[in-house]
Structure 1
Amino acid sequence: MASSLLTAILSLTALSSAITIPRRDIESNFLKLPAVAVDKPQTQHEAKRQEVLPLANSQTGTRYIINFSIGTPPQSVSVALDTGSSDTWVNPTCSAAGIQDSIDLCNSFPLYDPSASTTSDDTGISISLAYGKGAAEVEYFTDDFLLGGTKVVAQQFGVASSSSDLPTGLMGVGPGIELTGYPTIIDQLASQGITNSRAFSLDLRDVDSSNGAIIFGGIDTMKYIGPLEKCPIIPAASAPDGFDRYWINMNSVGITKSGDIPKVYPDSSTPVFLDSGGTLSRLPTPIFNAIVADFPGATLDTSGSGLYIVDCSVASQSGTVDFAFGNTIVHVPYHEFIWFAGNNTCFVGVAADDSAPVLGDSFLRAAFVVYDQDNQNLHLANTADCGTNVVAIGKGPDAVPSITGGC
């Protein structure tokens, strides 16, 4: 799904990865997939669409890569997880991936060969996919997906004939069949009985963590604090951009400086779209101006990006940027909200946007979020880590367990 670009400066960073064996709990109807985190090479115009997966993170632009297999026999693929789109596709054109580091990153991932799979079927349908940065021409196939040892039969997905400015394919976990016209991976997991319903939880973790996860059909009660706040998803007809995405209403934004009392900005209620594909958050200009005015030592970037530079040492201060949803306030520590762009350059993790406000990774690193497509709700809490206890998401209007976080 198309989204606007931000302008910022990113240093090139080396590829880092750590492969973890996924967990499939057949009896409990959930599927937990860790992911590898790789540094995302970018030019200064690519700050918005940073596709990333559950979950290892780093202090520069990072994309979260999910590893699984397609076909018979299984062929390994690596794609980026994106809550901002709904199509899954593979095989980006590496020669057109952008700068050399993006090309090298793209070439480090395996490609899928439909002709080498006995279960592959070409639908004969082609489509153009456009993103905030990059585009792809894909042809739809169906084939079996193997996710952590669990088979999803005859999943439809795209195989790119060409793409630009995208070093990986994507696994879109946004709202499904209403947009794509075919059952997405979230739809298929539920319809094939792997999960109880079309729901998953996402836990990006903080910039210093080496772990994170997406849990299809489940939540980990030891990864958050307090209750899960239920937030109705705004229907497309009422959404700021008119699209069926993960839009919810945010009650307010504020800041708590180190040693000060919390400050709430007036008139800071706004619809927001939760997007794991965005490095930064993007908020209406009055809210943006209030945050950067209060952020310690923030100064306008003279390169014209519209962003604010901050001394990287501010990350060690104990302040938070505070986002309120119903009775829950998600407190984002400075060290999560600051974007470490490399070369000792740090930015306040927010940009101005008066058309389609987004809470990206600078917010999501501090939030545990459950995406319930069946009931059209998101559930939010402050992230934490005090062990693991995965509980299945059920069916019906109360599918997401009302369990207070164990931390």
Structure 2
Amino acid sequence: MRCSACRSLFVASLVAQTLGAASPTTIQLQSRVAPREATLRRRATNPVTLPLQDFFLGTDLQWFGNISVGTPPQNVSVVFDTGSSTLEFASTMCGSSCDSQVKFDYEASSTFVDKDKTTTITFSTGVGVDPVVGDNYQLTLREASDVVTVGGIKAKATTLYLVTKETAKFAIDPFSGIQGMSAQAQGFFAALVKQGLPSIFSLYITPEAVGGAELTIGGIDETKFNGSLTYAPNADQGSSTWSLTSPQIFVNGKTTSTLKKKRDVIFDSGTSNVLFDTTTTEAIYALISPEIKAHASEDGTYGIACSLIPTLPAVIDIGFTDENGKPFNLTIPSSELSVGPFADSPSTCQTLINAFDGLELVGGSLLKQYYSVWDVGAQRIGFAATGK
């Protein structure tokens, strides 16, 4: 998910209210950066692997898993979101707006500390594939700290944010919150790095039919992919944003002058679909089918008759350059073109790219095609084919 608060909190954004004093302290990792050839060396603490569940809704585009918070520990289900920086989840401070989620009972934790600071954050991308309109994805949060346990490893006095109010768009969520996994280690991840974990994590996110999705913190599960990893440098090093520079985009092997424009593409595991500016979005769709049209009732979305989806080749290759200067593509296959029918027009299927001027971003529809390694210490992202 993309939050409009600030780059050091959830994510960089376009519709912002800053957290100001509520922002957590960033722990700089320079002293812990290993040489590239030694990035995966085991340290004092072994890697932690967490199983992930697929939030389906017909899309296979959102994954979440469990951490524990408090003393005694309470399970909290969260999306591990590379487009966010902090930990926030539903709590008993929240009224009826959080009734769809399991609420953390802060009064039952002997290690809970209320910091008595409240803030509101607004997201520029939401859960699922619906577009953001105004403040329809918004959380009111209260800053606190408590013990966070991941895979049996405890991070004491971890800064977190309890949801005290949420907008109706969050009601469909089967998970309670979001754990940010940004390009600067913060919160529980920073604490685990301090305890000896390498400053990397890996994602294996799979369609529901395949299963076995997982997050590995502090290591790589080499059984989950084929061949070797291709690494590319983070385009915005020193910030919390994971992004790679793309020189061009191909659709079904073709490109245009618009698609040859150099752009920085954000990689966001908490966002389901793809966002490009309007000009780029329509240039991509023009190479797929002239029948793909803007859907008037949902600003920024596009659709086409569902009956036409199986007939359309829609292979999108986004070009990048690896850390050795060699070009490579990351591919979204034709099977991702439809993200399901519109509620107000069941015979029209929404297509995977939403127009959002000023933001270029790929989410689950691309990431589920690859095993990905997010190397905070070396500021790079690695990809390998999974053979799913």
TM-score for the superposition, normalised by structure 1: 0.70
Contact 1:222 1:384 in 2 (8 A): no
* 2:122 is aligned with 1:130: yes
* 2:383 is aligned with 1:380: yes
Which residue of 1 is the match for residue 319 of structure 2?
Answer: 324
Q: How many Å separate the matches in 1 of 2:218 and 2:211? A: 23
Per-residue displacement from partner, 1:93-116 (whole Å, max 9, x unpaired)? 4633xxxxxxxxx53532212221
Report the 3-state secondary structure (helix = DSSP H, G, I; strand = E; otherwise coil) of the residue aligned with 2:316. Answer: strand
Report the 3-state secondary structure (helix = DSSP H, G, I; strand = E; otherwise coil) of the residue aligned with 1:355. Answer: coil
- Equivalent runs, 1:125-164 vs 2, <5 Å: 125-132=117-124, 133-164=136-167
Q: How many Å separate the matches in 2 of 1:157 and 1:120? A: 10
Which residue of 1 is the match for residue 219 of structure 2?
Answer: 218
- Equivalent runs, 1:30-49 vs 2, <5 Å: 30-38=47-55
Which residue of 2 is the match for residue 395 of structure 1?
Answer: none
Query: 259, 269, 280: which is aligned to 1:276?
Result: 269
How has the CA–CA distance of structure 1 residues 231 and 108 changed in structure 2, closer, same or farther, with 3 Å as cutoff? Answer: same
Contact 2:183 2:379 in 1 (8 A): no
For residue 157 of structure 1, report the CA deviation from its aligned partner. 0.8
How has the CA–CA distance of structure 1 residues 69 and 190 changed in structure 2, closer, same or farther, with 3 Å as cutoff? Answer: same
- List alignment gaps of at least 5 residues for structure 1: 6-24, 39-56, 97-105, 178-182, 238-242, 257-261, 386-407
Contact 1:283 1:354 in 2 (8 A): yes
Q: How many Å separate the matches in 1 of 2:360 and 2:178? A: 22
Q: How many Å separate the matches in 2 of 1:345 and 1:207? A: 23
TM-score for the superposition, normalised by structure 2: 0.73
Contact 1:321 1:337 in 2 (8 A): no
| Amino acid paired to 2:192 | L
Query: 112, 121, 143: which is aligned to 2:104?
Result: 112
For residue 161 of structure 1, report the CA deviation from its aligned partner. 2.9
Per-residue displacement from partner, 1:367-401 (whole Å, max 9, x unpaired)? 3322112221122234434xxxxxxxxxxxxxxxx
Which residue of 2 is the match for residue 245 of structure 1?
Answer: 241
How has the CA–CA distance of structure 1 residues 325 and 381 changed in structure 2, closer, same or farther, with 3 Å as cutoff? Answer: farther
* 2:165 is aligned with 1:196: no
Report the 3-state secondary structure (helix = DSSP H, G, I; strand = E; otherwise coil) of the residue aligned with 2:296. Answer: coil
How has the CA–CA distance of structure 1 residues 362 and 337 changed in structure 2, closer, same or farther, with 3 Å as cutoff? Answer: farther
Q: How many Å separate the matches in 1 of 2:356 and 2:225? A: 29
Q: How many Å separate the matches in 1 of 2:51 and 2:310? A: 27
How has the CA–CA distance of structure 1 residues 141 and 164 changed in structure 2, closer, same or farther, with 3 Å as cutoff? Answer: same
Report the 3-state secondary structure (helix = DSSP H, G, I; strand = E; otherwise coil) of the residue aligned with 1:245. Answer: coil
* 2:255 is aligned with 1:264: yes
Q: How many Å separate the matches in 2 of 1:82 and 1:381? A: 20
Q: How many Å separate the matches in 1 of 2:213 and 2:103? A: 25
- Equivalent runs, 1:83-98 vs 2, <5 Å: 83-91=82-90, 93=94, 95-96=96-97
Q: How many Å separate the matches in 2 of 1:379 and 1:255? A: 23
Q: How many Å separate the matches in 2 of 1:63 and 1:300? A: 25
How has the CA–CA distance of structure 1 residues 4 and 338 changed in structure 2, closer, same or farther, with 3 Å as cutoff? Answer: farther
Q: How many Å separate the matches in 1 of 2:386 and 2:255? A: 21
Q: How many Å separate the matches in 1 of 2:256 and 2:225? A: 26
Contact 2:54 2:208 in 1 (8 A): no
Per-residue displacement from partner, 1:35-65 (whole Å, max 9, x unpaired)? 2233xxxxxxxxxxxxxxxxxx452375423
Aligned residues: 322
Report the 3-state secondary structure (helix = DSSP H, G, I; strand = E; otherwise coil) of the residue aligned with 1:222. Answer: helix
| Amino acid paired to 1:196 | P
Per-residue displacement from partner, 1:183-206 (whole Å, max 9, x unpaired)? 42221121122x222x21122223
For residue 150 of structure 1, report the CA deviation from its aligned partner. 3.1
Contact 1:279 1:360 in 2 (8 A): yes
Which residue of 1 is the match for residue 180 of structure 2?
Answer: 172
For residue 351 of structure 1, report the CA deviation from its aligned partner. 2.3
- List alignment gaps of at least 5 residues for structure 2: 5-12, 16-41, 125-135, 322-326
Which residue of 1 is the match for residue 72 of structure 2?
Answer: 73
Contact 1:232 1:376 in 2 (8 A): yes
Per-residue displacement from partner, 1:9-41 (whole Å, max 9, x unpaired)? xxxxxxxxxxxxxxxx99772111122233xxx
Using the aligned pairs only, state the percent identity: 25
Instruction: Pick which of 65-74 and 119-128 moved more.
Output: 119-128
Q: How many Å separate the matches in 2 of 1:210 and 1:221? A: 17
Per-residue displacement from partner, 1:218-267 (whole Å, max 9, x unpaired)? 22223334432222222379xxxxx63112101321122xxxxx223442
How has the CA–CA distance of structure 1 residues 312 and 149 changed in structure 2, closer, same or farther, with 3 Å as cutoff? Answer: farther
Contact 1:80 1:169 in 2 (8 A): yes
Contact 1:331 1:382 in 2 (8 A): no
Contact 2:201 2:375 in 1 (8 A): yes
Contact 1:60 1:341 in 2 (8 A): no
Per-residue displacement from partner, 1:132-191 (whole Å, max 9, x unpaired)? 2423332322222222333333222112333334344211112346xxxxx422211211
Report the 3-state secondary structure (helix = DSSP H, G, I; strand = E; otherwise coil) of the residue aligned with 1:219. Answer: coil
| Amino acid paired to 2:150 | L
Contact 1:339 1:362 in 2 (8 A): no
Report the 3-state secondary structure (helix = DSSP H, G, I; strand = E; otherwise coil) of the residue aligned with 2:235. Answer: coil
Which residue of 1 is the match for residue 189 of structure 2?
Answer: 186
